[in-house]
Chains A and B, each alone.
Chain A
Amino acid sequence: MSVRTNKDKLVAVSVMGQIASPGFPGLPAEPYRLDAHGRPFLLPTYGGIVYNVSVGDSAYGWLADCIHPGVSISLKDDNGNRGLNLFACVGNSAMVMTGDARGAKGFVTGKSGRFSEHVILHFSKADREKMAIGDKINIKSVGVGMELLDHPNVTLKSCSVDLIEGLEVTTNPDGRLNVPVTAVVPPHLLGAGAGLTSEGGSLHIQSQDRDALREAGLDALRLGDVVALTDYDSSFNHGYLRGALGIGVIGQGDSPRSGYGPGVTLVMTSMTGGINPVVSPGVNIADIFLSNE
């Protein structure tokens, strides 16, 4: 039985961003960051048009630091960028409005956090070839304000109607919301993003202890995978709380940095145990939104 929502009351509104350039710090042109052992590295990181990494691909193994699959957009104006980051919902449709790829259709796959604040979009690889940094992309944002009428203890964030319907969430006989997930993340493996906003941005799985990652079954995650975050309340910021549980989508790739790893875009949270994560292999937003490609 599908769940009831207030989707007929939601307001759809445009938010626009421009394809963001990758960036590095200025003079003295020290390009390195340090990995968890203090070793300097220089690798592609967030921003830009990523031609060969897409949702559905592995979150691990890329020679990159928190790479965003597909296309990253932002707006130079801080307040406008906040509007973009807050209102864009995973699964919302996007269209390129300027440049050679104008008219191309894509969708939101994730968001990035405190130091970039991008919205991450999927477009076909053929469309990416035609895009230029600075191209305007418009998102038809709809989802903020959505509620599950029979699950008042579940809060939705950055979650589109298409995502809720595509995930095929159901009501358990005990009243909880059943949500299919690929994996379950224990709280000691959540790092960067804790204490920061849960309305946008990202919360990162920590990947430095590879044994711990393997034991938790998190070493084969793919970009776009749906995961559960145990004992984490994301009602107001992300933070530890026994019995709380969040649902997120893997938005960014792995990182060599301490406290970082694959980034999660939060889409649902319950402070009081209202979500029942149902582990089943390969729950990924690519399967929901890419079926027509």
Chain B
Amino acid sequence: MPLATNEAHLVEMAVMGNISQPSLRYPGYTLDNIGVGRVLPGMSGVVYNARVGDPAFGWAGDHVEPGVSIANPDAAAEFALHYLTCIGNRAVVTSGMAKGAEGIVTGEHARMLVDFAPDVNELLCVGDAIQIFAYGRGLALTDFPQIELKKVSPRLLDGIPLEVTDGGRKIRVPVTMELPPRIMGSGAELNSEYVDQDLMSGDRALMADLGIDQMRLGDLVVIPDADHRYGRGYRKGAATIALCIHGDSVMTGHGPGILTLMSAPEPVIEWVIDPNANIANYLNIREAS
């Protein structure tokens, strides 16, 4: 049974960004967990060989952003791109050799992340314009006013097999794993409408013990006792459903990026472990190619 929403009242509007160029600050070193300087790719540009559905861990990269990363050079327009775009929104290339090609929004880091088919990626150039049909800001679950949705497009909401439980008082969301609140790190200083919060992967043994190192880009995960409605903080009994949007990091306090999708300050969100809980499945991202 689909959940009742206010979708009929949503406004759909265009925002745009350009494909970003990877950039490093000379001499390019990032210190890893034990203080060794590393130079690693991963952020910005077109990442040809990491895609939603691929592992989040194990890359010889840092904060790997799957697919295409876009940004707008104008600060106000850039924030509009960040605040209005929702996961699952349609994207269209509007300049360059791939003009007309369609993609789908899969995440938000310092740049917006868009998935295109591999043959489209081959034709994309840094600077090409990509327009997003932003749709979903304001979306709410009519019968669950305690649950805040963030950057969930109606298409994504329709794709996730949600269940209503407890006689209509709670919803149950499939997730691949639980993340303990004590490992939630960088991004706590930002408001929760903006980008993501990294899980802290520096305790490598814990990642293996809890199976967190099996996470995939695009996985839905739950953070129990996390209230992400206004900022990202600890609150017993709260729960937040989030999306893995970028890959692991060598930096202390960093790791795969976790983007807030749903949050409630009280126990109305339940979860069930399901290894298929990935937006590659829910949005049919890899099927077309």
A225 at the interface (CB under 8 A from B): no
A238 to nearest B CB, angstroms? Answer: 5
Provide the bound-state CA to CA distance between A191 and B197, in Å: 11
Q: Which residues of B contact A115 (CB under 8 A)?
A: 189
Interface string of B108-145 (1 = CB under 8 A from A): 00000000000000000000000000000000000000
**Residue pair B252, A239 in contact (C-beta under 8 Å):** yes
**Residue pair B188, A191 in contact (C-beta under 8 Å):** yes
**Residue pair A186, B231 in contact (C-beta under 8 Å):** no
Q: How large is the interface on A (under 10, 10 to 19, 20 to 34, 35 or more residues)?
A: 35 or more
**Residue pair A235, B35 in contact (C-beta under 8 Å):** yes
B109 to nearest A CB, angstroms? Answer: 14
Q: With A194-B185, A194-B200 as known contacts, state yes or no: A236 contacts B232, CB within 8 Å.
A: no
**Residue pair B251, A195 in contact (C-beta under 8 Å):** yes
B51 at the interface (CB under 8 A from A): no
The segment from B4-12, B154-162, B233-241 that touches chain A is B233-241
Q: Which residues of B contact A259 (CB under 8 A)?
A: 188-189, 231-233
Provide the bound-state CA to CA distance between A35 and B265, in Å: 13
The residue that B200 contacts in the complex, of A35, A204, A239, with Cβ under 8 A, is: A239
The segment from B89-97, B168-176, B222-230, B272-280 that touches chain A is B222-230
Interface string of A183-200 (1 = CB under 8 A from B): 000111101111110000
Q: Which residues of B contact A125 (CB under 8 A)?
A: none
B186 at the interface (CB under 8 A from A): yes
A117 at the interface (CB under 8 A from B): no
**Residue pair A236, B230 in contact (C-beta under 8 Å):** no
Q: Nearest residue in B to A193 (C-beta to C-beta)?
A: B189
Q: With A188-B225, A231-B182 as known contacts, state yes or no: A209 contacts B234, CB within 8 Å.
A: yes
**Residue pair A193, B31 in contact (C-beta under 8 Å):** no
A11 at the interface (CB under 8 A from B): no
Q: With A37-B230, A38-B229, A241-B203 as known contacts, state yes or no: A235 contacts B252, CB within 8 Å.
A: yes
Provide the bound-state CA to CA distance between A238 and B251, in Å: 9
Q: Which residues of B contact A113 (CB under 8 A)?
A: 189
Q: Which of B213-266 contact A (CB under 8 A)?
A: 225, 227-236, 251-254, 265
B80 at the interface (CB under 8 A from A): no
Q: Nearest residue in A to B192 (C-beta to C-beta)?
A: A258
Q: With A36-B230, A36-B233 as known contacts, state yes or no: A239 contacts B254, CB within 8 Å.
A: yes
**Residue pair A195, B35 in contact (C-beta under 8 Å):** no
A260 at the interface (CB under 8 A from B): yes
Q: Which residues of A contact B186 (CB under 8 A)?
A: 194-196, 237
**Residue pair A37, B229 in contact (C-beta under 8 Å):** yes
Q: Which residues of A contact B187 (CB under 8 A)?
A: 195
Q: Which of B2-36 contact A (CB under 8 A)?
A: 31-35
**Residue pair B182, A236 in contact (C-beta under 8 Å):** no
Q: With A191-B188, A191-B234, A195-B187 as known contacts, state yes or no: A239 contacts B229, CB within 8 Å.
A: no
Q: Which residues of B contact A35 (CB under 8 A)?
A: 230
Of A187, A211, A239, which is in contact with the most chain B CB atoms at under 10 Å from its CB? Answer: A239
A147 to nearest B CB, angstroms? Answer: 15
**Residue pair B253, A237 in contact (C-beta under 8 Å):** yes
B55 at the interface (CB under 8 A from A): no
User: With contacts A209-B235, A239-B200, A260-B231 known, what are 5 further pairs, Cβ within 8 A?
Assistant: A36-B235, A240-B182, A240-B202, A240-B253, A257-B230
Q: Which 4 A-B pairs have the closest CB atoms?
A: A195-B186, A258-B231, A195-B253, A239-B253
List the interface of chain B (C-beta within 8 A of A): 31-35, 180-189, 191-192, 198, 200, 202-203, 205-206, 225, 227-236, 251-254, 265
